[in-house]
């Protein structure tokens, strides 16, 4: 269809019009038409960082948790938040992989008590 833009084409299913869109939400994960995963990776990292720092802020006052216990709790809470919807990630770039690796290194530093 030369001369027509994709926005001007309308599709119908019965009497209903199917609307063109740039993004769709599938099981809570937004998928854009470029299939770019950068935004999904960044959103996952933001949610996982929020969970990490909330877990680290609720240490018991005189008794701090063993680093292995902390690692276990953080792995069970933060990593699922980080990787939620990862089965829909299809085009991870090197920078996306580095973003994920930076988060894992941040978790390791926080568990060991190192400052950023």
Alpha-carbon distance of 6 to 28, in angstroms, equals: 26
What tens digit of pLDDT does each residue of 12-69 get? 889 988 888 777 777 777 777 776 788 888 888 999 999 988 888 876 433 466 778 8
Alpha-carbon distance of 36 to 73, in angstroms, equals: 31
Is residue 23 domain-resident? no
Domain that holds residue 56: 35-112
Is residue 62 domain-resident? yes
Q: How many helices (H) and strands (E) does the chain have?
A: 3, 4
Element (DSSP H or E) covering residue 13: strand 11-13
Is residue 41 domain-resident? yes
Is residue 5 domain-resident? no
Is residue 13 domain-resident? no
Alpha-carbon distance of 38 to 41, in angstroms, equals: 5
Alpha-carbon distance of 106 to 116, in angstroms, equals: 8
Strands 23-26 and 29-32, bridge-based pairing: antiparallel
The count of domains in the chain is 1
Is residue 53 domain-resident? yes
Is residue 20 domain-resident? no
What tens digit of pLDDT does each residue of 92-111 get? 889 999 999 999 999 888 87
pTM for this predicted structure? 0.66
């Amino acid at each position: 269809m030369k001369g027509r833009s994709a926005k001007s084409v309308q599709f119908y299913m019965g009497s209903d019009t199917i609307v063109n869109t740039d993004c769709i939400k599938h099981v809570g994960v937004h998928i854009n038409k470029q299939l770019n995963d950068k935004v999904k990776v960044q959103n996952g990292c933001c949610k996982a960082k929020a969970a990490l720092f909330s877990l680290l802020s609720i240490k018991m006052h005189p008794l701090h948790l063993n680093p292995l216990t902390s690692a276990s709790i953080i792995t069970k809470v933060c990593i699922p938040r980080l990787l939620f919807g990862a089965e829909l990630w299809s085009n991870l770039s090197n920078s996306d992989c580095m973003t994920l690796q930076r988060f894992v290194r941040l978790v390791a530093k926080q568990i060991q008590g190192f400052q950023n």
